[in-house]
């Protein structure tokens, strides 16, 4: 079929793209893997980076090291456009012609048109988000510790998390442990009762895609950790210094964390592919784009449908299994053989609430507490890429567990003195001040790095319902009070 070695271009070194690249690495193919980062990120533990529990190097691994053996050529490049007719990918590093293309670009935050969400909240989708959020939390305590004005102190010490899916639940639990453990020991001047962690969820329960009993367990354990949980609560507006809810109530805060939704990169639709709910690309059961058999889409970006006719959840097991499937599928396509359909083998769902507490829906049963927590920890360590990362995570966890400490809570010089310089700790306001500081310095405020970078457009409130969500809750939605998108396994 091909007169020369077929050129395969893979966009995205996440779970699906990397797994496919590794599987094809020893084939007689000219493979180029593109990613805007030179590292692969283990997203299920990203919230721990934002909660100063793990460092970024614990959960990320250089792609070039992973692909040392084999024939995959890696380019650190940000894909900006694709011409599907000419079969060329355009990135900031040039042009990449292909015979077969795999799009595995993951997802970006979805703000559902909630006013101010993109500008003033911290999403938690990428490393670009986790590090500024960690810095934000740590620096709010520095500011609060010498803030004489009670109202300003309240805004510094109030943390609102929007979305009661797994990421919201996991981050709320981890933040509570960080604050009520080491941070308040570091700042004895701050009374415990002045700190508020508020988790808001639009539906009537947490972890909506799991069994209601597990959601109730998560609620109870979070409340025991001093997290205020508000169900049936919709966010209508996020301001530089607060959040407004649909029931007319407002909360003064400098820090809003957005875990309420994700979507496919909206540019993919602009480039000409048909997208379904939340910007996911419509694919055949084989993961090929209808009418373009040379284009495959996998992972969060693909709107593949399961046995029940519902879109598959945007979770790591789907992406990994699709990545493996694509090895066979791409080879079949190149031979001119029929391309097999992808069949998902659902391993179940897990979410962690904090020390000794998790929920698990696996092996046909439902588990809570210590057993679920151990299972969660074992599975996550086993899935990490690289022996070193597994060891680092285990050592960090053991340290945190034994000493009730957090070893990575540094506000680094680059945080204080980077472009924008808004982290001078001389007091002052919230996001508006940060944005103003950035403008004054002629550069982006470090605190805002990554925010809005994804270019999420926001959709209708209905779009809050993430199709086929595995854990985050597949029902309800509304203005935004949940993160139904992220599942666990």
Ligand X SMILES: Cc1cc2nc3c(=O)[nH]c(=O)nc-3n(C[C@H](O)[C@H](O)[C@H](O)COP(=O)(O)OP(=O)(O)OC[C@H]3O[C@@H](n4cnc5c(N)ncnc54)[C@H](O)[C@@H]3O)c2cc1C
Give the shortest CB-196-to-ligand X separation in angstroms: 23
Sign of torsion over alpha carbons 317, 320, 321, 322:
positive
Q: How far is the CB of 133 from ligand X (least distance, A)?
A: 11
- CB distance 84 to 273 below 8 Å: yes
Please answer whether residues 187 and 137 qualify as being in contact, where contact means their C-beta atoms are separated by less than 8 angstroms.
Answer: no
Residue 437 backbone phi and psi in degrees, to 5: -60, -40
Phi, psi of 232 (to 5 degrees): 50, 40
Name the site residues for ligand X (rule: CB under 6 A). 11-17, 34-37, 43-44, 46-47, 78-79, 104-106, 124-125, 166-167, 265, 299-301, 314-317, 319, 486-489
Q: Tell me whether residue 17 or residue 478 sits nearer to ligand X (CB atom).
A: 17
Which residue bears the tokens 């007091």? 427
Residue 319 Cβ, how far from ligand X at the closest point, in Å?
3
Least gap, CB of 143 to ligand X (angstroms): 26
Residue closer to ligand X, measured from CB, 157 or 372: 372
Residue 10, beta-bridge partner list: 33, 102
Helix or strand run (H / E) with residue 16: helix 15-24
Q: How far apart are CA 179 and CA 191, in angstroms?
A: 12
User: Closest distance between ligand X and the C-beta of residue 248, in Å?
Assistant: 31
Q: How far apart are CA 284 and CA 297, in angstroms?
A: 10
Contact yes or no for 333/99 (Cβ under 8 A)? no
> Which residue, 161 or 315, is less far from ligand X as judged by CB?
315
Residue from 166, 175, 176, 132 nearest 262 by CA = 166
Find the largest Cα–Cα distance for the chain: 74
Catalytic residues: 170
Nearer to ligand X by Cβ, of 39 and 120: the residue is 39
Using an 8 Å Cβ cutoff, are 49 and 56 in contact? yes
Of 134, 115, 118, 132, residue with least CA distance to 52: 134
- Report the alpha-carbon distance of residue 149 to residue 146 in Å, rounded: 9
Nearest distance from C-beta of residue 259 to ligand X, angstroms: 7
Q: Are strands 365-368 and 357-362 parallel, antiparallel or unpaired?
A: antiparallel
For residue 369, what are the contacts with CB-CB under 8 A and spacing of at least 6? 356, 357, 358
Q: CB nearer to ligand X: give 42 or 141.
A: 42
Q: How far is the CB of 117 from ligand X (least distance, A)?
A: 16
Nearest to 255 by CA among 181, 172, 184: 172
Tokens coding 26: 């020893």
Percent helix, strand, coil in the chain (nearest 5)?
Answer: 35, 20, 40
Contact 232, 135 (CB under 8 A): no
CB of 31 to ligand X, least distance (A): 15
- CA dist 299 and 321 (Å) reads 9
Q: Return the ∠ at Cα 454 (arms to 452 and 460), rounded to 5°.
A: 80
Which residue, 43 or 245, is less far from ligand X as judged by CB?
A: 43
* Beta carbons within 8 Å of 11's beta carbon, 6+ residues apart: 17, 34, 35, 79, 89, 101, 102, 103, 104, 105
Q: Smallest distance from the beta carbon of 373 to ligand X, in angstroms?
A: 13
Nearer to ligand X, 209 or 435 (CB): 209
> How is 386-443 classified by DSSP, letter by letter?
SHHHHHHHHHHHHHHHHH---TT----HHHHHSTT-TT--S---SHHHHHHHHHHHTS
């Amino acid at each position: 079929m091909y007169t020369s070695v077929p050129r395969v271009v893979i966009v995205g070194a996440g779970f699906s793209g990397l797994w496919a690249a590794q599987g094809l690495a020893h084939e007689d193919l000219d493979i180029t893997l593109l990613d805007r980062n030179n590292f692969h990120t283990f997203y299920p533990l990203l919230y721990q980076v934002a909660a100063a529990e793990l460092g970024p190097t614990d959960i990320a691994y250089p792609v070039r090291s992973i692909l040392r053996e084999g024939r995959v050529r890696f380019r650190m490049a940000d894909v900006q456009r694709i011409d599907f007719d000419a079969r060329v990918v355009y990135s900031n590093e040039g042009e990449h012609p292909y015979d077969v293309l795999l799009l595995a670009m993951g997802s970006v935050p979805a703000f559902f048109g909630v006013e101010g969400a993109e500008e003033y909240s911290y999403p938690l989708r990428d490393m670009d988000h986790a590090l500024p959020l960690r810095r934000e939390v740590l620096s709010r305590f520095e500011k609060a510790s010498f803030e004489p004005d009670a109202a300003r102190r309240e805004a510094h010490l109030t943390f609102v998390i929007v979305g009661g899916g797994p990421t919201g639940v996991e981050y709320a639990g981890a933040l509570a442990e960080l604050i009520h453990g080491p941070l308040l020991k570091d700042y004895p001047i701050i009374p415990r009762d002045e700190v508020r962690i508020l988790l808001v969820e639009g539906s009537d329960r947490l972890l909506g895609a799991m069994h209601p009993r597990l959601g109730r367990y998560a609620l109870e354990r979070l409340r025991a950790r001093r997290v205020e949980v508000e169900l049936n609560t919709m966010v209508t507006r996020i301001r530089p210094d607060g959040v407004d809810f649909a029931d007319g109530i407002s909360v003064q805060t400098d820090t809003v964390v957005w875990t309420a939704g994700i979507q496919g990169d909206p540019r993919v639709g602009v480039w000409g592919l048909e997208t379904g709910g939340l910007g996911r690309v419509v694919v055949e059961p084989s993961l090929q784009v209808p009418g373009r058999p040379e284009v495959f889409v996998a992972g969060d970006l693909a709107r593949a449908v399961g046995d029940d006719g519902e879109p598959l959840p945007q979770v790591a097991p789907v992406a990994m299994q699709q990545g493996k499937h694509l090895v066979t599928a791409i080879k079949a396509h190149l031979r001119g053989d029929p391309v097999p359909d992808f069949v998902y083998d659902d391993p179940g769902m897990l979410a962690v609430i904090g020390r000794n507490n998790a929920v698990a829906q696996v092996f046909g049963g439902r588990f809570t507490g210590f057993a679920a927590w151990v299972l969660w920890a074992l599975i996550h360590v086993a899935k990490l890429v690289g022996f070193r990362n597994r060891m680092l995570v285990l050592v960090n966890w053991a340290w945190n567990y034994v000493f009730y400490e957090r070893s990575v809570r540094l506000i680094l010089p680059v945080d204080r003195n980077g472009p924008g310089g808004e982290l001078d700790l001389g007091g002052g306001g919230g996001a508006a001040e940060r944005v103003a500081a950035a403008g004054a310095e002629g550069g982006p405020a470090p605190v805002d790095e990554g925010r809005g970078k994804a270019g999420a457009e926001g959709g209708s409130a209905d779009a809050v319902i993430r199709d086929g969500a595995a854990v985050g809750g597949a029902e309800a939605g509304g203005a935004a009070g949940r993160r139904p998108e992220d599942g666990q396994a």
